[in-house]
Amino acid sequence: MNRPTSNFVQIAGREIHWMDWGERDAPVVVAWHGLARTGRDMDELAAHFVACGYRVICPDTLGRGLSQWSPAPDDEYQLSFYARLAAGLCDALQLARVHWVGTSMGGAIGMVCASGLAEPSMKPRIASLVLNDTAPQIAASAVERIRAYAGQPPAFDTVMELEAFFRTVYKPYGWLSDAQWRRLTETSARRLPDGRVTPHYDPAMVRQFSAHPEDYAIWQHYDAIEAPVLLLRGAESDLVLRETVEAMHRRGPGAKGRFEAFEVPGCGHAPALNVPEQLERVSGFVQANS
């Protein structure tokens, strides 16, 4: 297996980082991370898909990981701009057809792309869409919980203290090995000028929720999706309510018989996509729609 490469590209005047896994001529999976995370969360998923014969693109969203922070946070930290960046990345890499796997915010970006309402060029590109614990309507109480920890990221004297924080706040991810917790920490940490460590994202990215309070109310996008959709819902998720899943069965891809949902036991928001049951469920869906 080729070793993954780290890459940068200018899109819409912003520098975006992504990890590129697998053979360049293989069918493509775009794996997009959650709100306050980075593309390195997708390492296990990417390695699994490479073993299945796919190429995997794992971007860092604007303001996260190694991607540039936005100089215009109220304008650019929103789903429509993220979809613009996704379209630009597909253009830059000449990706005509992709399977999209998105965790939380990454899934919302996928829905906006797959609808074609914001970026018409993306609708025919998306062959299938996997939503990892996200939906066209999310619970307000969960959004407030996420804003509380993401909007004011703590700083610690040591990386081990930061890891302890991540183990607490991301406990709903389910089981991770000690090595996976360590990698999650090391790949999403940055030093402050005073030497302390803090999560590797721009705290201003949570202004998405104040500048664009309805940004995650995206039923109009879901209803316009033609691609088949798989939803993984953490059985203990406070973000995706069961009544929302029922509505997804009745609307959009669900009304066309192109929606299926699976509850992941032992997880809340959101499953880490790092264990065989989850990985095989996702890859099986993608392979069935390749």
Q: What is the pLDDT of residues 209-231, one digit of tens each?
A: 999 999 999 999 999 999 999 99
- Read off the pLDDT band of 65 (50, 70, 90): very high
Q: What angle do CA 117, 16, 23 make, to 5 degrees?
A: 90
Q: What angle do CA 132, 191, 142 make, to 5 degrees?
A: 30
Q: Is residue 150 assigned to a domain?
A: no
Q: Is residue 259 assigned to a domain?
A: yes
d(Cα 238, Cα 26) in Å, to the nearest integer? 37
- Does 2 have pLDDT greater than 80? no
Q: What is the pLDDT of residue 187?
A: 97
Look up the domain containing 113 and give its range.
5-139+215-288
Q: Is residue 38 assigned to a domain?
A: yes
Q: Is residue 205 assigned to a domain?
A: no
Q: Is residue 83 assigned to a domain?
A: yes
Query: Taking the model in full, what pTM does it have?
Result: 0.97
Q: Is residue 9 assigned to a domain?
A: yes
Q: Is residue 160 assigned to a domain?
A: no
Measure Cα distances from 100 to 58, 60, 193, 238, 255 in Å. Answer: 10, 15, 37, 23, 21
Q: What is the pLDDT of residue 84?
A: 98
- Looking up residue 252, the CATH number of its domain turns out to be 3.40.50.1820
Residue with tokens 């088949």: 228
Q: What is the pLDDT of residue 1?
A: 55
Six token digits for residue 92: 């830059």
Give the number of domains in the chain.
1
